[in-house]
């Protein structure tokens, strides 16, 4: 019982970690893209 719970918890933790990393990467790229667009004359 406890092992099944641990496996489920571990899988959820890995998914959350991946989402967290992707979110921060995307946020950084988004800021960089905004800066590039602002610097570029229209």
Q: How far apart are CA 20 and CA 24, in angstroms?
A: 6
Number of domains forming the structure of the chain: 1
pLDDT category at 40 given cuts 50, 70, 90 is: confident
Q: How far apart are CA 16 and CA 12, in angstroms?
A: 6
Structural domain contains residue 5 = no
pLDDT for 42 = 59
* pLDDT 10s digits, 3-37: 888 888 999 999 999 999 999 999 999 888 888 88
Structural domain contains residue 4 = no
Structural domain contains residue 28 = yes
pLDDT for 24 = 92
Task: Give me the domain span that covers residue 20.
Answer: 10-42
């Amino acid at each position: 019982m406890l092992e099944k719970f641990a496996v489920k918890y571990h899988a959820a933790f890995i998914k959350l970690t991946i989402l967290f990393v992707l979110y921060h990467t995307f946020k950084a790229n988004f800021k960089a893209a905004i800066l590039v667009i602002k610097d570029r004359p229209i």
